[in-house]
Each structure stands twice: as structure tokens, then as C-alpha cells.
Structure 1
């Protein structure tokens, strides 16, 4: 167990070194959250008057949505990195070493989790600078960040599995483009559930993206509903474990094919 953990950490460090050498990429990934946070937030700030948001400021409501949406959009492309390593032959060269096969996959997942946590904290701080209020304090923010990391793990692991299965950039791009907007808008990212059509609200109840938002928003409120936080967080954790298991199983199938 300790060997697998140390190997996973080694593979994570390898990924982090690549990330550190591309500071421009880190800045670019924050452009879209800033656009959603401030342009979209200011454009629709009066929507709070419709009621049902649980806050007096639309920015307060929007910050958790942007944090979770950013985690989704960035981790959905994890499979592109896996595909690139397959095409370069890097992954196949690792197969000739005694490194744990789980570590090869999990290193990518842990790396994406760390990047997601950093990105989430930056978005929360930007919201704070913009005037957002977080009654739940640091504890609530930490739960939001954890929820976004769990969501990112789900879609990052599934994206890795997809990359090994299809092994085509166009397929990954097409699937991600198809899923991103429906997952986002069939959730409470931008609109209070009370203002959503009944059919959309019912679909949102089964949307993992919405689970992370509901858990984060509740934890950051003045009076958190810990049963909601626990149930949504537990569901995300179970889904993340299943997604990681699936990516490892897919990797073993890929290994047998080379």
C-alpha cells in the first residue's frame, strides 16, 4: 500500500512539474471563471429579486456555481492528456517499468484534484474581492472546495477512461462539448431551484454537478443543513470511487491491447 501511494505521489509530481512549466495555462484556465463571475454576475444581478436564492446578492449565489462549473470544465479534458501520452508512447514506456498501474492513472487524478483546489480557492477569493459574503466562513469554503475536487475526480477519471477507449481527439472534444452545457444548465448553477421548471428541477436532483453546488452552498450559508451536505458529499465520494475504479479497469484493458 505504501509503495502504491509513493508511486502515485511520484506520478503526481511529474504532472505538477509540467503544470508549473506552463504558467500561461494556469492564467488561461481562470479567464472563463472570471467572465462568468463578473460579466454574467453583473448582467443578471437583479435576478435575485425573483426570490428563492437564499441570499441578498446574486454574486453570493453565483460563486459556488462558478467554482463547481470550473471544476467540471477543466477536468473533463483530462483524457486529452492521457491520449497525448498514448500517442507519444510515454504511457507505453511506463508499462515496461514495475510502477503500479493504478499509480499511472491516479497520479493524473491527484494532479487534477490539486489544480482544481487551487483554481477553486482563487475563484472564491476573486468573489470576495468583488463583494461576495460567505457566512459559513472558512469551514464552508473548504467544504465547497472539497466538493469541487470530488466532482473533478469523477469527471477527470471518466475522461481518462474515455481517452483510452476512443483514442481520438475529435471524439473527446465532441463528447465534452455535448455534455458541458446540459450538465451546467440542468443544475442550480445560475438559477434558484424555485425558479426552474419542474422537469429541470427533477433532473437537477440527479446531476452530480448540482450535488456539489448544493453541498457547497449549504455549507457556506449562515445556517448549514448538514444532512444535505453529508448526503450530497457522500454521493459524490461514492461516485468518485466508482469512476476511479472504472478508469483503472479501463487502463488494464488498454494494457492488454498493446
Structure 2
């Protein structure tokens, strides 16, 4: 256990040093979420007047948790590109022929992704607050939002890493990421309340892990949170994150057999 923790810390530090040397990548990943926040927040601010929308009269407050989760989803879906770069440079083979713990290789990647998600989420929340959004969930609500974003990052970061290990091609990873992320985003309440969507969209959204995270974030920041819904959806995210991490760790064996 101590070896796994040590390896995880060392490998996480390796990833963090990379972003420390090139912080521009951290900022670049914020450009699209900020555009969603500012443009969508203005373009669709009148949808709160639609009967049944139920956003409390402020679309920006409704949109912000969705934008946070969109940022986490899209960034984590590309997590496997780091593995592909390591494969192309021969680094991954050296790791796997050394005593490096396989679980540490996966967990360190997810920890790094989770840390960047936290930093970026705080920036998005700050920008939303500066542009007029007010969140009533307090510090506890913000912490729950961060937890949901990190769990969502773990789910799709692990999936991205598994795809990278199995396919070992940048183009394939990009294609699968695009195939998954956009439908998951639109089949959710990130931008529009699903109560106004067709019934089939509501049915699909109920099984959408991206929607689970949006529900947690939006409820956590609200003035009257539905705690049963928050804990239920957090539990689903945590369980799925554990399963996906296990699957992705097992993908190392498939990678070794194919090399």
C-alpha cells in the first residue's frame, strides 16, 4: 500500500510539473467554458420566462453548474492523449517493465485531472459571480459542486485512458471522445431544463452520468437543496468512477499483450 501511495505521489508530481512549466494550457482550457458562460448566459437569458422552466429568474445561475460539468467532461475525455504521447515516446513501456504500480499509473492521472478541474471550476465560478450570478449554497454547496466535477472527471478520464491503452491512436481517441461528449451534453439539463424536453430525452437523461453531476452541482448551489437527490447522484458517480478506474487499470494488461 505504501509503495502504491509513493508511486502515485511521484507520478502526480510529474504531471503537475508539466502544467507548471506550461500554465497556458490550463488557461486555454477555460476559453470555451467562459464563452459558453458569457454567450449562452446572454443569448438564452429569456428562457427562464418560459412556464415550467423553474430557474428562479436567473439563467446564468442555472447555466453555471452545467458549464462547470461541460468543462470537466470535455477535458477528461481528452485525458488519454497523455498516455498516447507516453506510448509514442516509449515512456509507457519503460513504466510497465519497471516495478511501477499499475494502479498508481491510473490514479495519478485521475488525480492530476481532478486537480486541474478544481482550479478551473473555481475560476468559472468566480467569473459567473462577477457577471451577476449569486449562489446560495455557501461553502458546502461549492464543495459538493467540486466533488461532483472531480467524480465526473474520474469517470471519463478513466474511460479516456482505457480507450488510449486499447486503441493506441490519437485519431481514434478524438473520434470516440466527440462521439460521446456532445450527445451526453445535449441529453442533459446543462443548458435547458429537461422538463421542457421530449419524454424520451428525460428518460435518457436519468441514466446519463453527466446529468447526475449537473443535478448535484445545481442542487448544491441552490437555496433549498434536495439532499436526497444530491447524495443519491453522488453515490452513483462515485460507484461509476470506481468501476471505470478498475476497468482502465485492467487495460494495461491488454496493452502489454498487444505490444
Other-structure match for 1:104? 105
Q: Report Cα offsets for 1:182-202 as digits up to 9, x if no partner.
A: 110000001112211111111
Other-structure match for 2:13? 13
Deviation at 1:109, TM superposition (A): 1.0
Residue-pair matches, total: 258
1:45–1:57 contact (8 Å) kept in structure 2? yes
Partner of 2:190: helix, strand, or coil?
coil
Other-structure match for 2:25? 25
Matches within 5 A, 1:61-72: 61-72=62-73
Deviation at 1:104, TM superposition (A): 1.4
Q: How many angstroms apart in 1 are the aligned matches of 2:256 and 2:177?
A: 25
Deviation at 1:22, TM superposition (A): 1.1
Other-structure match for 1:181? 182
Partner of 2:139: helix, strand, or coil?
helix
1:53–1:61 contact (8 Å) kept in structure 2? no
Other-structure match for 1:141? 142
Q: How many angstroms apart in 1 are the aligned matches of 2:17 and 2:54?
A: 41
1:200 aligns to 2:201 (yes or no): yes
Deviation at 1:94, TM superposition (A): 1.5
Output the TM-score relative to the length of structure 2. 0.97
Matches within 5 A, 1:7-156: 7-50=7-50, 51-156=52-157
2:47–2:53 contact (8 Å) kept in structure 1? no
Output the TM-score relative to the length of structure 1. 0.97
Q: Report Cα offsets for 1:93-141 as digits up to 9, x if no partner.
A: 1123212111112111110011111111111111111111111111111
Deviation at 1:173, TM superposition (A): 1.1
Other-structure match for 1:256? 257
Deviation at 1:252, TM superposition (A): 2.3
CA RMSD after TM alignment: 1.0
User: Structure 2: any 5+ residue segments left out of the alignment?
Assistant: none
Other-structure match for 2:236? 235
- Runs of 4+ that moved beyond 6 A: none
Partner of 2:191: helix, strand, or coil?
coil
Q: How many angstroms apart in 2 are the aligned matches of 1:90 and 1:125?
A: 38
- Stretch deviating more after TM superposition (88-97 or 41-50): 88-97
User: Structure 1: any 5+ residue segments left out of the alignment?
Assistant: none
